[in-house]
Amino acid sequence: MLITDKVAEGKLLHIMRVFRDTVKMAHHLIKAGLDWNNAERRVTSYISNAHYAHSAYQKAKLWGERPYLKLKKKFLFSVGKTAEKGNRNIRLIPSDDCFIVKIKIPHADGRHEWIYAKAIFGKRYLPLLKELSGGTINYGVEVGEDYRIHVYVPLELYCKHLGKKIERRGRSSHIAGFDLNSDRINMAIINDSGELLDVKVKHFPEVTQQGFPIDKAKDMRLKALSELIDYACHHNVEYFVFERLGKRRKKKTNNRNANRKLSKFPKRQLLTHAKVMVAKRGKKFCGVNPAYSSQDAELIAKKLRLDTHTTSAYILAYRYIKSTNTHQRL
């Protein structure tokens, strides 16, 4: 993002610093047990804008599990709002060779003002952003300390413009179940009668070793997941079944190595990426209750001649068939 007016840049840096501090205040109120209805007045009075205050509260909720919040970098974020041309406080306006970023600067006396900047995006994103800036779709916008802009796009619109097209073989609509683990991802493909058609496993044991870079581990897991999803798409899989996570619970075992693996395995984050990957390919993401799937897998693994993790993936896919009306009930 480019800002040529130094006065406007100073105002932006000021509101970014205030917003960062507002997020920390909102986090403190959340930890104190206050919901938005009780915290709204205090947070709004600090930043002098109700929508920025609500955006800060939503950001703070993302770090709700932390005992305290320590943010060093300044930033600004505004949640989307359809009734306000997609976003009330930060808007994207298409121009000839770029986008104009319109940012609201709040003041305590209520006389808010707007500042303007230029933003340049890659060509592949332009059709998406032009439709997004039409004013009928809500989108969130975040401005970082380095003036980079992050636009939060609805998943359906993202898949419409940037979806991945994969050729199918035949017209069958198979089901793939996935079992996610810290050092491997197991996949089982079945048909709508529950018959096991194919299995595939991606191993990456090195990511659980002590001292292995977190970012590199994340890349390896995402690459493995993407390859499995592509493989399933090429083999006529329409429904991708993953376990549906409930409330976060701390899991501990008597094994120190197992505890370390569990603590460093971001399963919820991996599931979020899986949902996006599946949607980009025009397929259906399905969540299934994983209760007792591990115990059931131990009982039937020998019968299927599979390991317990692949059997767990099979059980998730099988449960999906039983729980939906779109397939034959078993």
Nearest to 90 by CA among 105, 107, 103, 75: 103
pLDDT of residue 2: 93
pLDDT of residue 304: 83
Per-residue pLDDT, averaged over 210-226, amounts to 91
pLDDT of residue 102: 96
pLDDT digits (tens, 9 = 90+) for 260-301: 455 556 888 899 999 999 998 989 999 998 887 777 888 888
pLDDT of residue 68: 87
Rounded Cα distance, 32 and 85, in Å = 35
Set out the domains of the chain in order of their start, with CATH numbers. 6-154 (no CATH), 174-328 (3.30.420.10)
pLDDT digits (tens, 9 = 90+) for 57-95: 999 999 888 888 989 999 999 999 988 999 999 999 999
> Which residues 6+ apart lie within 8 Å of 72 measured at CB?
none
The yes-or-no verdict on residue 15 having pLDDT over 80 is yes
The yes-or-no verdict on residue 219 having pLDDT over 50 is yes
Nearest to 89 by CA among 79, 74, 99: 79
Write the Ramachandran bin of 186: left for phi over 0, alpha for psi from -120 to 50, otherwise beta: beta
Rounded Cα distance, 325 and 149, in Å = 43
pLDDT of residue 104: 97
pLDDT digits (tens, 9 = 90+) for 139-152: 999 999 999 999 99
The yes-or-no verdict on residue 168 having pLDDT over 70 is no
pLDDT of residue 327: 46
Per-residue pLDDT, averaged over 42-51, amounts to 96
**Pairing outcome for strands 149-152 and 140-143:** antiparallel
Most confidently modeled of 27-31, 158-162, 260-264, 278-282? 27-31
* Cβ pair 224, 202 in contact under 8 A: yes
Task: For 150-209, give the DSSP string.
Answer: EEE--HHHHHHHHPPP---SSS--EEEEEEE-SSEEEEEEE-TT--EEEEEEEE-GGGGS
